[in-house]
Structure 1
Amino acid sequence: MNKEEYKLYIDDVIRRVEFARVRVSAHHIVKIVAISKYSTAKEIEELYSIGQRAYGENKVQDLRAKSEELKELPIEWHFVGNLQKNKINNLLDIDPTLFHALDSLELAYELQKKLKARDMTLDCLLQINSAKEDSKHGFMPETAKESYEKIAKECPNINLKGVMSIGAHSNDIGVIKKSFETTYKIYSELEGATICSMGMSGDFELAIECGSNMVRLGSIMFNK
């Protein structure tokens, strides 16, 4: 695709997001985070020139490399991968806009310790394993609300902004929808939560219709 064709293609993706959100409400706002983990800095730059501002990486070293290479651009960087405790300081050096995958109390306490030592805060989302799949990280739905409130109370340097989940790994739309509805129900019960991040390239429209206000789109945004 040339630049004009690529812009028209991205406009169509945005149109699909818009159609899904207005089916919820004219006032429902959805943010797109472009997942750039398989993309080069040059490809990010091309998408940036069209208007996309938020990007997500799932490896700390890749986030560091790309954010440094593109430091002249005011990009909003998100970390969407699972965070190993020995990589916390490396992530805090980068200071991303949002960490999407706070997936255990153990990680929360270690993150709080490192944040307090640096006298800094970090905006985070609690990851929920809404489909209860062994292959996924996150809090089980039954303990998510209690754990969210516990972290909010005991970890003052962690700014919990809401929740994140990945849709059920299934070909059954009903099963995927149920996993999104489970996450949204928890989100709706959390005091002060403003972000419900659900939906990827293959299921973002369904996720939005179930209440998502942040979608993580990878392959569909860089499909050139």
Structure 2
Amino acid sequence: MSRRAELAAGLAAVRERVAGACAEAGRDVDEVTLVVVTKFFPASDVCLLADLGVTDVGENRHQEAQAKAEECADLGLRWHFIGGLQSNKAAAVAAYSSVVESVDRAKLVGPLARGAAGREQPMDVLLQVSLDPPGREGRAGVDPDDLGALASRVEQEQDLRLRGLMAVAPLGEDPATAFARLAEVRAAFVAEHPAATWLSAGMSGDLEHAVRLGATHVRIGSAVLGSRPTGK
């Protein structure tokens, strides 16, 4: 099977899963954007995905993302940065990203705004909210109680546009339970920020739970691209 055929089969299977979850939840399938995470995969795969109708691509390492964005600049893709972000790299990430999904502290906001300055449209920002219990090692994301202050900081920047929230289901927890908790956090957040309706949640193993509980974006890697290349 050619690589294009492999990717086409993976995309078809994922789109069928999304459609099934939307049907169960009484949602329109057009409400959910598929973000294909191409970490460790070559730019040639990105080109094939674009040819197969993919419009949104996710990366979580700056150097790799920057190189692919430059190589695929003529494809009209929306690049989502979804990884942990260092403040000294935030401006560089903003220079090529359409969306940064992993904003979890105020220190990132100024550099992101500087990197996004001068573009025709503001850069879209999602706040990464933690679903882990306090004190867990490696915990990523802002505490739900601190979302309001971080959102206000983003809204101060004219070159950034607050779009919503992003989260990852904690390891070892039923994703349905985690995403139900996220849905409550999101409802309270949207009540305060009515335009920030995006919710990025769900990956290859748990996308159905996320879609049923309101995800507008799902971040899918292995279910489309297969296992990561060896040596990574």
- Which residue in the other structure is 2:52 paired with? 50
Cα shift at 1:27: 3.3
CA change 1:209–1:70 in 2 (3 A) is same
For residues 79 and 62 of structure 2, the distance between their equivalents in structure 1, rounded to whole angstroms, comes to 11
Task: Report the aligned-residue RMSD.
Answer: 2.3
- Which residue in the other structure is 2:202 paired with? 199
- Which residue in the other structure is 1:11 paired with? 12
SS of aligned partner of 1:138: coil
- Preserved contact between residue 58 and residue 82 of structure 1 (Cα < 8 Å): yes
For residues 73 and 176 of structure 2, the distance between their equivalents in structure 1, rounded to whole angstroms, comes to 43
Cα shift at 1:122: 1.9
For residues 183 and 38 of structure 1, the distance between their equivalents in structure 2, rounded to whole angstroms, comes to 32
Cα shift at 1:163: 0.8
- Preserved contact between residue 34 and residue 217 of structure 1 (Cα < 8 Å): yes
Over residues 120-159 of structure 1, what are the superposed CA-to-partner deviations in whole Å (9 max), with x where a residue is unaligned?
A: 532111110122343232210122134323432x333321
In structure 2, stretches of 5+ residues that fail to align are 228-232
Query: 3-12 or 132-141, which moves further after superposition?
Result: 3-12
Cα shift at 1:164: 0.6
Report sequence identity in percent. 26
- Preserved contact between residue 165 and residue 183 of structure 1 (Cα < 8 Å): no
- Which residue in the other structure is 1:180 paired with? 182
Matched to 2:18, the amino acid is V
Query: 143-152 or 200-209, which moves further after superposition?
Result: 143-152
SS of aligned partner of 1:21: helix
CA change 1:127–1:223 in 2 (3 A) is same
- Kindly indicate whether residue 69 of structure 2 is the aligned counterpart of residue 67 of structure 1: yes
- Which residue in the other structure is 2:142 paired with? 139
Q: How many residues align?
A: 220
CA change 1:172–1:194 in 2 (3 A) is closer
Over residues 20-76 of structure 1, what are the superposed CA-to-partner deviations in whole Å (9 max), with x where a residue is unaligned?
A: 112222436100000111211112222222221210111221111111222232222
- Kindly indicate whether residue 94 of structure 2 is the aligned counterpart of residue 88 of structure 1: no
In structure 1, stretches of 5+ residues that fail to align are none
For residues 138 and 171 of structure 1, the distance between their equivalents in structure 2, rounded to whole angstroms, comes to 17
